[in-house]
Amino acid sequence: MNGTCNYILTRMESAGLPYEAVFEEARQLGYLEADPTLDVGGIDASHKLAILSSIAFGTRIDFGAVEIEGIERVSIDDIRRAADMGYRIKLLGVAQMTPRGLEQRMAPCLVPAESPLGQLMGGTNMVVVEGDSVGQIVLRGAGAGEGPTASAVLSDVVEIARGVRMPVFGQPAAALQRAKPARTAVPAAYYMRLELQDKPGALAKVATVLGDAGISIDRMRQYGQHSDSSVPVLVVTHKTTPEAIDYAIEALPRTGVLVSDPVELRIEEV
C-alpha cells in the first residue's frame, strides 16, 4: 500500500544495492514524504489500511489498533535469501474480521515470487480483496511520485466540482460500528535471520529456544562467514503463532550466541 516502500524493496533486489543507497535514490526521485518515517516506517500505509478496513467491514477507523512495522530492518541479505527460496519481501497490510475481533497489521512479509503481490515491481500499489462470493479481486496502480499523487487529488476536486456526493465509507459515517480490536493470532510460517558466534553449540542453543517456544523448524541454512567470529544462519519455521515467535525473539539474545538482534518476517501465502 506504499509505492515508495515497494520501489525501495524491488530496487534493492534488482540492483543488489543496500537499503541506505536505495533510500537516498527514492529521496532524489521525490518519492519520500517530508518525514520519511511516514513511508519507510509503515505509517502512511497503515493509515490507508485503517481506511480500507472501515470500508470493507463497516467499522469506525481505528488507526491505533493497527500493528505497525516498517521496512528499516530489511537488509540486502534478507532480499537475497528470500529470493533463494522463491519469495520476495513486500510491505504487506492485512485486515480481517475474526470471531475475536478485527485484526489489522502492517509489516514486511515474504510472499511467493510468482503471486500477484510478488510480481508487483517499482513504485506501484496493489490491493487484494477476498470475498465469500466473488473470491479474490486484485487492484493495482501507480502509487508513488508527484504525477500519481496529483492525479488522485485532482480527481477528488473534480468530483466535488461536479456535485458528486457519495458516502466516503459506502454508508453514513454515523452508521459505522465500533469493532473490537484483536491482535494477530493466525498461525503462519516465519523466516528468521540470525547472526551467530562461530563456535560449537551455537546452533544447538538456538534449536533449544525454538523448541521451548513450541516452534518446529522447516529449513535451516548456514551461509559463508561474515567474519572470523560470526556466521549468518537462516531458519524457516513450520506454521506457528505470533506469540511463539515473540517468545523466541525475546529469548534468543539470552543464549549468549547472537552477534546482533534477530530478524523475523512472516511468510504470507497469498
Give the pLDDT confidence of 73-84 residue by residue, as tens digits. 999 999 999 998
DSSP conformation class of 146: H
pLDDT tens per residue, the chain (270 residues)?
Answer: 888 999 999 999 999 999 999 999 999 988 888 899 999 999 999 999 999 999 999 999 999 999 999 999 999 999 999 998 899 999 999 999 999 999 999 999 999 999 999 999 988 889 999 888 999 899 998 876 788 889 989 999 999 999 988 888 888 888 999 999 999 998 999 999 999 998 899 999 999 999 999 999 999 988 776 666 889 999 999 999 999 999 999 999 999 999 999 999 999 987
Q: Where are the domains of the chain?
A: 3-182, 189-267
Judged by DSSP in three states, 124 sits in strand
HEC string of 17-56? CCHHHHHHHHHHCCCCCCCCHHHHCCHHHHHHHHHHHHHH
Residue 109's nearest CA partner among 265, 270, 248 is: 265
225 CB-side CA count, 13 A: 7
Query: For the stretch 2-32, what's the b/e string if a residue is b when 16 or more beta carbons lie within 10 angstroms of its beta carbon?
Result: bbbbbbbbbbbbeeebebeebbeebeeeebb
β-pair type (217-222, 181-182): unpaired
Q: In which element (H, E) is residue 192 found?
A: strand 189-197
Is residue 76 a contact partner of residue 11, using CB atoms and an 8 Å limit? no
What pLDDT sits at residue 226? 62
Q: Which residues are catalytic?
A: 48
Spatial separation of the C-alpha atoms in residues 12 and 226, rounded to whole Å: 20
pLDDT tens-place string over residues 148-166: 889 989 999 999 999 988 8
CATH of 3-182, one of 3.40.190.10, 3.30.360.10, 3.20.20.60, 3.30.930.10: 3.30.360.10
Q: Which fold does the domain 189-267 belong to in CATH?
A: Alpha-Beta Plaits (3.30.70)
pLDDT tens-place string over residues 32-88: 888 999 999 999 999 999 999 999 999 999 999 999 999 999 999 999 999 988 999
